[in-house]
Amino acid sequence: MKVLVTGGAGYIGSHVVRLLQQRGDEVVVIDDMSAGVIERLGGAKLLPLDLAAPEAMTLLTELFKTEKIEAVIHLAARKKVGESVELPEWYYEQNISGLAHLLGAMRQTGVTKLVFSSSAATYGMPDVPAVSEDLQCEPINPYGQTKLIGEWMVANAARAWGLRGANLRYFNVAGAGWPDLADTAIANLVPIVFAAIRAGKDPVVFGDDYPTPDGSCVRDYVHVHDLAEAHLSALDYLDRDDRPHDTFNVGTGQGSSVFEVLDEIKKVSEIDFKIDVQPRRAGDPPYLAADVSRIRETLGWSAKRNLHDIIESAWNA
C-alpha cells in the first residue's frame, strides 16, 4: 500500500513511517519541518509543506494523483496546550484548516482511508478514573477543541462522501522505539525531567496532595512504539466492511503517578536527584487513564511495553 504520512518527520510520525516501511508499505511524507528531522525518514519521499497554507489543497491534490496515494495517516498538527491558550486563532488555523485542505484533496482524488491523530485532550477533565470513548467530550483548551473538531470533520466526510476514518485518542506518549527516533522536544514529563537532570536542576512536581496513593497526579503512559503499531492496526481496520467504531483510546489502561515515573527514572539513570515540589497547577485532574477495551476488542491491539520499557528506551535514546 502507498501511504501518505503527514508529520512523518516528527517524533511519533517517524515511528509510524518506520513500521510501515518495515512491513513493506511505500511511504510519502508531508512535514513543514518545524519539528521534523529529515534523517528519521529512512528514504521516504518528503514534500515540505504547511498544510494550512492557502496553496496546500492544490499541492495535495497533485501529490495524490502523481504518487497514487491509497491511504493517509494524519499526524501533522500544533500540539502544545499552553501555546494553544496563548494563540488560539493560530491553533484553529493550523489544525483545522490543515485537515480541511487534506480532506478536500482526498475527496477530489477518491482517497477514502484516513487515520486521524486525536488526543485524550478531547475529554477535558472527566470525573472518572478510566475514560471510555463514549464519555461526553468537554475539552478545556483550544488544542483539545481542535482535535475534537477534527473528529467531527472526519465523521462529516464519512457521511458526505464515504470517507473511512479512524480517530486515535492518544494518552501520554513517551519512550523511543529506536535510539535515533528519540523525542527531541522538551514538552512532556519524561523529556522535561531528563532536561532538568542534564542541567543539574531538581525536576519540578506540581502538587503532592492529590487524592491518589502517593499524592501526585496519575496518568496513562503509552510507549511510542506501541502507539505507532496502533496506527497500523487502525489503517488495516479501514479495509473491513464491518467497522462498528471510528474512535479509539490508545493507552495501557493503567496509571502511573508522577512520583512513580521519577522513581523509575532514578533507577534507570542511576542518578539520585532531588525533587522540587511546587503547588498544584490549575486544570490537572488527579487521575486519568484510558479504558482500552474497545481498541483491544475491535482492533486486536494492546500495549506490550510497560513503564520501565518506556523510561529505559527514552534514557538510552
The 8-class DSSP code of residue 113 comes to E
Show the 3-state SS of 50-92.
Answer: CCCCCCHHHHHHHHHHHHCCCEEEECCCCCCHHHHHHCHHHHH
What domains lie within the chain, and their CATH numbers?
A: 2-173+223-250 (3.40.50.720), 174-220+252-290+304-316 (3.90.25.10)
Quick check: pTM over 0.85? yes
Identify any residues that bridge with 206 across adjacent strands, giving them in sequence order.
278
pLDDT in tens, 264-281: 999 999 999 999 999 998
pLDDT in tens, 155-198: 999 999 999 999 999 999 999 999 999 998 888 899 999 999 99
pLDDT in tens, 195-230: 999 999 999 999 999 999 999 999 999 999 999 999
| C-alpha distances out from residue 57 to 166, 187, 286, Å | 21, 30, 42
Average pLDDT over residues 96-117: 98
Find all residues with CB under 8 Å of 206, minimum gap 6, and list them: 217, 278, 279, 280, 281, 284
Q: Is the pLDDT of residue 13 over 80?
A: yes
- Residues labelled catalytic: 143
The upper half-sphere exposure of residue 152, i.e. CA atoms within 13 Å in the direction of its Cβ, equals 10
pLDDT in tens, 32-91: 999 899 999 999 999 999 999 999 999 999 999 999 999 999 999 999 888 999 999 999
- Round to whole Å and give the CA distance between 13 and 35: 11
- Round to whole Å and give the CA distance between 235 and 303: 17
> What's the pLDDT score for residue 129?
80
Q: What is the largest CA-CA distance in the chain?
A: 57
| C-alpha distances out from residue 54 to 58, 71, 245, Å | 9, 23, 33
- Round to whole Å and give the CA distance between 102 and 58: 10
Chain mean pLDDT for the chain: 96
At 136, is the pLDDT very low, low, confident or very high (cuts 50, 70, 90)? very high
> What's the pLDDT score for residue 125?
87
Residue 84 cell numbers, joined: 494553544
Q: Is the pLDDT of residue 282 over 80?
A: no
Q: Is the pLDDT of residue 22 over 90?
A: yes
> What's the pLDDT score for residue 286?
87
CA-angle at 221, arms to 218 and 224, nearest 5°: 165
3-class state of residue 228 by DSSP: helix
3-class state of residue 29 by DSSP: strand
